[in-house]
Amino acid sequence: MKASVMPHLSSRILSINGSGSDGWGVFYRARAMVAAGEMVTELTIGEHDIRTHPAILDAMHRAAQAGHTGYATIPGITALRDAVAARITRNTGIPTARENVLITPGGQSALFAAHMACCNPGETALYIDPYYATYPGTIRAAGAVPQAIATRAEDSFLPDYDRISDAALAHGAASLLVNTPNNPTGVVYPRSTLEDIAHAALDHDLWVISDEVYETQIWEGAHLSPRALPGMDQCTLVVGSMSKSHAMTGSRIGWIVAPEHVIEKLSDLATNTTYGVPGYIQDAAVFALAQGAALEEEVAAPFRRRRALAMSILEGQNVVGHIPSQGAMYLMLDIRSTGMTGEAFANALLDTHRIAVMPGESFGAAASGHIRLAMTVADDSFAVALQTLCSFAGMLIPSDFAPA
């Protein structure tokens, strides 16, 4: 008999998290303080301070009671695929049919499925730094190799043609993941940036995976999907979600919009992984989408208000800089005048004032010297926290600092 040894875990799963300090220690410390009964103002995670609308929950309950609790059809129920297709056609002008839509358990699984569809094992998948924290791990989970394209605070963290093109050439990349409105920066990509992305994608045969989960949270400018640019509907996979637009984070409901042949293959993947999304959740999603823009605006309104509050507070000082806050539920602040890293500042702010923010470093090297605030607490607490943060930063600046 062979001596018994432990079977090994796959290198794929062992490598998902990557290595190195990622600045999430501040978040876990804040959570531990809250668990120990301390009062902490948590401006860390992108989750609304309101719940899913009761009318959506009623629709979910009715659907479950009506028996929609069995397996649902795999690409998604017809009514929901049609509703998503109609919404995308209306918003982008690009004709989109049911066959272009796969319903997924949230945007996160859509990001994973999209990379599974676009990248062979070992191929490079590009993404823009700063980035939503799961991106590199999602790419590694799909067996591809993540490669960040750095951007600069001075350029509002926008990528450009040369940076994308150079990275695509250097790595023979298969895909490029972009996100507008952007988490963590709050920037909405202008048309010129999207045109750069489209040109680079077409020049280098890249799939564009376009994460548009914040499309309903626009404070300035307009949301433009790269899929709407000439030639791009054939090489773009759009990731959508009802988590942010309808405060349905826990319902796990989202989609991929892509060329029909891609959706067919993604359906094969879904059959062999998720086996679809619960029917009663999909029915609730159909109901929610049918409520139109009014409900989406109601969900976005608290962030719109707090963002306006933040602008008035930030205008009154010259210590903390900010990246243009045009969309999504976040503010990216530049605290480089304090001479501290984002992580050191966030730790000091937590210790001194019991205010928890995310270090920019948690979202990539490009965002070092920055912090991200989620505008997810009541207006008055948010305003007090931001004012406190600004005065704290003011006390930390070296005496030789001259504001620009």
Residues interacting with ligand PMP, by CB under 6 A? 46, 106-108, 132, 179, 183, 211, 213, 241, 243, 249, 254
Residues across the chain:
404
Tokens of 33: 């303080």
Least distance in angstroms from the C-beta of 362 to ligand PMP = 12
When CB distances to ligand PMP are compared, the closest residue is 107
User: Long-range contacts: 65-68, Cβ < 8 Å, 24+?
Assistant: 68/278, 68/279, 68/280, 68/282, 68/283
Instruction: Determine contact, residues 397/339, Cβ cutoff 8 Å.
Output: yes
Cα–Cα distance between 363 and 186 in angstroms, integer?
13
Q: Which is nearer to ligand PMP, 41 or 217 (CB)?
A: 217
For ligand PMP, which is the closer residue by CB, 75 or 130?
130
Answer whether 282's CB lies under 8 Å from 253's CB: yes
CB of 281 or CB of 396, closer to ligand PMP: 281
Q: Judged by CB, which is closer to ligand PMP: 131, or 392? A: 131
Q: How far apart are CA 206 and CA 177, in angstroms?
A: 10
Find the shortest distance in angstroms from Cβ 212 to ligand PMP.
9
Q: How far is the CB of 252 from ligand PMP (least distance, A)?
A: 7
CA–CA separation, 265 and 263 (whole Å)? 5
320 or 374: CB nearest ligand PMP: 374
Q: Compute the least distance from the CB of residue 299 to ligand PMP, in Å.
A: 14
Element (H or E) spanning 191, and its range? helix 191-203
Q: Which is nearer to ligand PMP, 215 or 233 (CB)?
A: 215
CB of 217 to ligand PMP, least distance (A): 11
What minimum distance in Å lies between the beta carbon of 270 and ligand PMP? 15
Q: Which residues contact 377 (CB under 8 A, 6 or more apart)?
A: 41, 42, 43, 49, 385
**Interior angle at CA 83, CA 77 and CA 87, nearest 5:** 145
**What is the DSSP code (8-state) at residue 274?**
T
- Specify the residue, 106 or 364, whose C-beta has the smaller distance to ligand PMP: 106
CB of 2 to ligand PMP, least distance (A): 43
